[in-house]
Amino acid sequence: MNPLLTPFDTAPFSKIKNEHFKPAFLQTIEAARQEIDAITVNIAAPSFENTIETIEFSGQQLDRISSVFFNLNSAETNEEIQKIAQEVSPLLSEFGNDVTLNEELFKRIKSVYEQKDRLQLSVEQNTLLEKHYKSFSRNGANLSKDKKKRLREIDAEASKLKLQFGENILAETNRYEKHITNENDLYGLPEGAKEAATQLAKSKGKETGWLLTLDYPSYIPFMKYAQNRALRKELSMAFGSKSFKGDKLDNQESVLKIAKLRHERANLLGYKTHAHFVLEERMAETPEKVYSFLNELLEKAKPAAEREFKQLEKFAKDLDGIDQLQKWDSSYYSEKLKQELFNLDDEQLKPFFKLENVIDGVFEVAKKLFGLQFEEVSDIDKYHEEVKTYRVYDLEKNFISIFYADFHPRAGKRGGAWMTSFKSQWKKDGENVRPHISNVCNFTPSTATKPSLLTFNEVTTLFHEFGHGLHGMLANTTYPSLSGTSVYWDFVELPSQVMENWCYEKEALELFAKHYETGEVIPMELIQKIKKSATFQEGMQTLRQLSFGLLDMSWHGTDPTSINDVKAYETKAFAGSNLYPDTPETCMSTAFAHIFQGGYSSGYYSYKWAEVLDADAFAYFKEKGIFNKEVATKFKEHVLSKGGTENPMVLYKRFRGAEPKVEALLERAGLLEK
């Protein structure tokens, strides 16, 4: 019996074998196809109920299987799963096209759409109708037969290229190992990081020495603390040259193909560029508005960034006689300068951020703000022993959500941190079906002598991903495609980024920042130092983020057909935002998974866009009190629970009473007075 083909609530991970996936996909694609066929042959006149709602609730078993499979492909993959992904992705792409290019189906949708003003639909129903109509018209429903055929070919090829892109980066990350046998090479590295490197060496069968990898918990401490400049350079070059070596894991051809296919697809659909196509369904609306937004921030941030860079150059020269700062010097000297200016470093802070305490802390913040309770349970199946599972309730013990948390790096897990879902929320037949939400991260693991102690950056990352998690958990909409994080991409980062703010507040830190050995609450002077150092090198950080947004827009907001050199094109895109000398052997685009594998193409700007929203939103909390129930309830009701049921600016204004002001971000970042 295939466990994926029998009804299940939580995913039955322990029963699933790899060979179950492909047959399950084939069977549920066919079942979903039959559900669509039943809509098109219905002799009753098209209505919202028999067409739009029926489409919305079709293919649910296929959706569940897809979420299980592709989440495993990100968090617990292997060669077999990757092979299956290459086989099923084109099938899913083809099925998606079969639906959106189905002329009879589109006729029915169009018929309902044309009578929408007479149908007395609710706001959410109206949004759903608009969404389905646009998803068809924006994805080829009005194209001629030959153009539809080409669209299918593009989508099938692009889906495979995106998978290959991600697989290559993961393989590159996994294949780099630096075995250190001379302890002097690790001078400056904190004891915890050294112990982790020893542990890693042993786990890989090395009897002596220390092992460094490109996983963040190994890579970042080395770049930040290790005095050995030559080794920092070696690691930096390995990290920066991922999938840019001209070998079988090289992604240059994929980058060019993906960019060109996206452009061709946009042209087929009547759009000037891929960015024009994407941004039509974003708060920003047009590439022109995105460029204007990025350039306005660039104008404010660049002078500050250049001043900060000069300060760093002088500091490195005075300290170590460094004549030319390079990329591999950045974290090291920034950390040293930060310690000098604020007498603060991560090693002082880490003992106060034991992972379990931070988890308890983020749960306590969620309880104080939104009335949630998290109960760790052992009766929910999981895909790896390290995964923690929780049932989430409100204060009246009403069930809210299942929550999975997966915190440490593994060979089968891609880098970074993300939120995802194994099951959406929706309402049907009088039942409010609750969601299954997951946070996946790559944090510093425990060692033989110490528990997992997080850097402050990891703490803010945990709060960030948990903010996305809350957006999923507190969803309360009728339709699954409008639920939780199914919102405009430049709005989706608001709940995550706003949560980071609590990490800087005394009232919140005192709930969970307790020394892992003594239980001492984090001293006030450390909290003040965290707050004072929050805007340290903010100009440089902002410039870096903006450069990524501009690189994304240069790939997707122009015609890429004549580009044949990825590195040369990238160098040109970075020209206005560079501080460090270029290194010809490195390339960001070939490992820029956000835009070439994930969903951020033409959308990387949204991190900064959402920062404006989050700075403005948190200013409201600060004004009324960071645990103010009234403000928290408004945020829950108008932002977190509403998903994509209405235009995000309408929702935001309902919460805040006005549109956000960019000044809130500039003030918080310390870029106004500079």
DSSP secondary structure string for all residues of 423-479:
E--EEETTEEEPPEEEEE--PPPP-SSS--B--HHHHHHHHHHHHHHHHHHT---SS
DSSP result, 209-235: SEEE-SSHHHHHHHHHH---HHHHHHH
Which listed residue (53, 76, 264, 465) is catalytic?
465
Determine how many CB atoms are found less than 10 A away from the CB of residue 285: 14
Give the SS3 label for residue 375: strand
The two three-digit tokens of residue 4, written as one number: 């994926």
Beta-bridge partners for 440: 406, 418
Sign of the alpha-carbon dihedral angle for 512, 513, 518, 523: negative
**pLDDT tens digits, 440-452:** 999 999 999 999 9
Give me the torsion for CA of 197, 462, 551, 488, rounded to 10°.
150
The question of whether 465 is a catalytic residue gets the answer yes
DSSP 414: -
d(CA 149, CA 354): 55
Question: Is residue 112 exposed (0-12), middle (13-18) or buried (19+ Cβ within 10 Å)?
Answer: buried
Q: How far apart are CA 288 and CA 519, in angstroms?
A: 53
pLDDT score at 671: 86
Q: What is the pLDDT of residue 662?
A: 87
SS3 514: strand
Q: Give the residue, 345 or 315, on which the prediction is more confident.
A: 315
Q: Which residues contact 594 (CB under 8 A, 6 or more apart)?
A: 548, 552, 600, 604
Going from the C-alpha of 238 to that of each of 235, 258, 585, 597, the distances in angstroms are 5, 24, 9, 20
Neighbours of 374 (CB within 10 A): 22
What does the pLDDT average to over 473-493? 96
Structure confidence at residue 346 (pLDDT): 85
Backbone angles phi, psi at 354, to 5 degrees: -65, 135
Cα 555 from Cα 443, distance rounded (Å): 31
Q: Does 78 have pLDDT greater than 80?
A: yes
Cα–Cα nearest to 635, from 619, 611, 126: 619
- Location of each CATH 1.10.1370.40 domain in the chain: 351-534
Q: Which tokens in the block code for residue 136?
A: 């068809």
Mean pLDDT of the chain, nearest integer:
96
**pLDDT over 70, % of the chain:** 100
Q: Is residue 240 within 8 Å of 327, Cβ to Cβ? A: yes
Rg (CA), the chain: 25
For 248-324+535-674, CATH number? Answer: 1.10.1370.10
pLDDT of residue 673: 55
Name the residue with tokens 């044949």.
564
Does position 246 have pLDDT exceeding 50, yes or no? yes
Nearest C-alpha neighbor of 443 from the set 420, 463, 469: 463
Mean pLDDT computed over 596-621: 95
Residues in the chain: 674
pLDDT of residue 670: 87
Whole-angstrom Cα distance, residue 546 to residue 558? 18
List, in sequence order, every beta strand (DSSP E) within 30-186.
178-180
**Which of 244, 281, 276, 274 is closest to 260 using CA atoms?**
274
Pairing of strands 372-376, 388-394: antiparallel
Q: What is the CATH number of domain 3-142?
A: 1.20.1050.40
Amino acid identity of residue 93, one-letter, is S
Instruction: Tell me phi and psi for residue 628, to 5 degrees.
Output: -60, 120
Mean pLDDT of 145-150: 96
Residue 558 binned pLDDT confidence (cut-offs 50, 70, 90): very high
CATH number of 351-534: 1.20.1070.10, 3.40.50.1390, 3.40.50.720, 1.10.1370.40?
1.10.1370.40
Q: How far apart are CA 513 and CA 523, in angstroms?
A: 9
The pLDDT confidence band at residue 488, using thresholds 50, 70 and 90, is very high
Q: Nearest-CA neighbor of 212 among 229, 189, 243?
A: 189
Say how far apart CA 354 and CA 444 lie, in whole Å. 10
Q: How does pLDDT run across 25-44, given as a tens digit for each residue? A: 999 999 999 999 999 999 99
The per-residue pLDDT for 452 is 96
CA atoms within 13 A on the CB side of 469: 32
User: Containing H/E element for 346?
Assistant: helix 346-349
Could you tell me which of 629, 622, 617 has the C-alpha nearest to residue 395? Answer: 629
CA distance 511 to 624: 19
pLDDT at 92 over 70: yes
Coil, helix or strand for 521?
A: strand
Q: What is the pLDDT of residues 163-205, one digit of tens each?
A: 999 999 999 999 999 999 999 999 999 999 999 999 999 999 9
- In degrees, rounded to 5, the angle at the alpha carbon of residue 269 between the alpha carbons of residues 574 and 261 is 45
Residue 639 near residue 632, CB atoms below 8 Å: no
Query: What's the CA gap between 495 and 403, in Å, rounded?
Result: 17
Query: How many C-beta atoms lie closer than 10 Å to residue 175's C-beta?
Result: 12
Is 674 a residue whose pLDDT tops 60?
A: no
Closest CA to 332 of 188, 195, 191, 461: 188
Amino acid sitting at position 578:
N
Residue pLDDT, tens place only, 370-403: 999 999 999 999 999 999 999 999 999 999 999 9
Q: Is the pTM of this model over 0.85?
A: yes
Residue 465's nearest CA partner among 604, 338, 359 is 359
3-state helix, strand, coil in the chain (%, to 5): 60, 5, 35
> In which residue ranges of the chain is CATH 1.20.1050.40 found?
3-142
Helix 60-75 and helix 79-100, axial crossing angle in degrees, nearest 10: 140
Q: What pLDDT, in 10s, does the model give residues 499-556?
A: 999 999 999 999 999 999 999 999 999 999 999 999 999 999 999 999 999 999 999 9
CATH 1.10.1370.10 residue spans of the chain: 248-324+535-674
